[in-house]
Amino acid sequence: MRPEEARLNPDGFLAGWSQKEITRLMYTLLVVVSASVAILVWYSVRLVEWYAREPVIDYELVTPTTPDEKKILDKPSIKASGTTAIQCYAPATGEFLGFVNPVTPEGIDRAIEKTQAAQKKWAYTTFSQRRQVLRCIQAFILKNQDEICRIACLDSGKTMIDATLGEILVTVEKLSWTVLHGEKALRPSRRPTNFLMAYKANHVEYEPLGVVAALVSWNYPLHNLVGPMISAIFAGNGIIVKASENTAWSAAYFSLIVKGALHVCGHDPNLVQAVTCWPQTASYLTSHPSISHVTFIGSRPVAKLVAASAAKSLTPVVAELGGKDAAIILDSAKKDLPRIIEILLRGTFQAAGQNCIGIERIIALPEVYDQIVKALEPRVRALRVGSILDAPKDQQVDVGAMISDVSFGRLENLIQLAVKDGARLLVGGSRLHHPIHRSGHYFQPTLLVDVTQDMAIANEECFGPVCTVMRASTPDEAVTMANAPNFGLGASVFGSWDWAMRIVVKKLKTGMVAVNDFAAYYAVQLPFGGVGGSGYGRFAGEEGLRGLCNIRSVCDDRWGWAGIRTAIPAQIRYPIPETGRGYNFTKGVVNIGYGIGLKGRLEGLKGMWKSR
């Protein structure tokens, strides 16, 4: 035996190995480790280069301030006598914040002109340049989230927790998703061809529309304003956002967050514009011939006006119109009720119920109904209402103010009618006269149970801190109840993932469903939108980005370099030499391409041969 083949007797896993085998193992390990290190270094260099191309640049903004002399309005309203300006105030306290001059039609023209000029250059930016802007926006929001939340709370009346969840979290998620996945959604995509057109290569391109518009609601003043800007500019567009007059005070500052990022990255900040106007002026924007697309977030009656206005210039509209979202609790959820109760409370009372995908109805099956009512009553009764910005540090606030008191009479009437028809009012039910903030807009957190489908409150959107509980005897009945109102935005279903759950999810007539959760689809950037009275079209996700593009189909020559291109056969060239022969020839072509089986295609070939 040669020395290198001598058997060794070391301890451990090498026991009995020869010197040659050990050497071979060491060389193999050396190659694997070297290759792994090389791959790791290569990817690290690429990662550093990627980030170097899109560096985050810090910038600062001047935050809005309130008047030096604090003034509490006696009967706060956005309309003030003696002026056409929008009167801004804090819904939680009635504190006067200032006046904002509404934009005029001439002002809208100027804004569109500036945005058009900026967009012509922006359309030719790379995805990397666009990502850099979004990274800067995200960094600014995370760095300044305390101040951003404070401003959102002051202008809309919500709590700091509601602002963090509904303004910060969802906005940075949209930014993060777009940075990570936006380019993939908008890159040209290859499409299949067929037998007759095998010499053609097909792809779809997504090019900018130009200048788009968004009309947004007041319930999330940062997110609703900045969200459409994120998608629009990443798709290569410019955008005009019409902010709600109810949150006009914060709109300018929130728009500056995007403008500031554009500026520090070397782009024209006029690419995005935020305007505020009275309703009678908004139609000038939606019908403007220079607007290529309109996104509307608001009520159904206003949506009809927006759609009619946009139709004048044949401008496409995406409409998100709120909902009457149901949370269905199946009997199989019995063991999970403690967790579910927490989700139901958050889903109902988040932002004082002013949430388009908030839980408006809890539909419970027999085995869980009584337990849910029993668990909810003390929790709803314990909710504390007030202004988080003005409360002492040792005082807790669970639910903030509503944006105005305009809906209070309607809510009280819906609740009173339901009680008259047999519903039980366990907590709340009317406006709250706050002992400290007498000019604030507060409604008592309300728990209404034994609600039936024929009651108005089961079919009309409350958009307030009202928890309604309904009883269903079977999963089928629960689905029927959930689908009954003329809304179809979102829904939640709780229970075991079994056949009953699958049937419920499949039968729900909504645009979105969260299983064993509330509104989870919005936290992962799935396409957002509803059906029926909740609107049409989608924003967010790939579908939302592509909806802001001209989707252009391109069919080119696969082998053009070889001279293989479409040529018109002699039998059908104008003027056609012989009509009958030409017809038989084209019939043969159809059979070759689409004949059933080999026999059908051979018949097509035979027909072409006879017509040659």
Name the strand (E) or helix (H) holding 163: helix 160-163
Residues 435-479: tens digit of each pLDDT: 999 999 999 999 999 999 999 999 999 999 999 999 999 999 999
CA-to-CA separations, 22 to 4, 10, 26, 31, in angstroms, rounded? 10, 11, 6, 14
Residues 388-447: tens digit of each pLDDT: 999 998 899 999 999 999 999 999 999 999 999 999 999 999 999 999 999 999 999 999
pTM higher than 0.85, yes or no?
Answer: yes
Percent share of the chain, pLDDT over 90: 89
Structure-block tokens of residue 167: 């303004």
Percent share of the chain, pLDDT over 70: 96
Q: Is 171 helix (H, G, I), strand (E, B) or coil?
A: helix
Residues 491-505: tens digit of each pLDDT: 999 999 999 899 999
Which residues on neighbouring strands pair with residue 549, listed in sequence order? 208
The predicted pLDDT at position 5 comes to 47
4 pLDDT exceeds 50? no
Beta strands in 175-286 (DSSP E): 189-191, 200-208, 211-215, 238-243, 272-276
Residues 160-194: tens digit of each pLDDT: 999 999 999 999 999 999 999 999 999 999 999 99
Q: How confident is the model at residue 351 (pLDDT cuts 50, 70, 90)?
A: very high
Residues 532-577: tens digit of each pLDDT: 999 999 999 999 999 999 999 999 999 999 999 999 999 999 999 9
The predicted pLDDT at position 504 comes to 97
Q: Is there a contact between 220 and 241 (Cβ–Cβ < 8 Å)?
A: no
347 pLDDT exceeds 60? yes
**Mean per-residue pLDDT, 371-385:** 98
Residues classed as catalytic? 320, 356
The predicted pLDDT at position 400 comes to 98
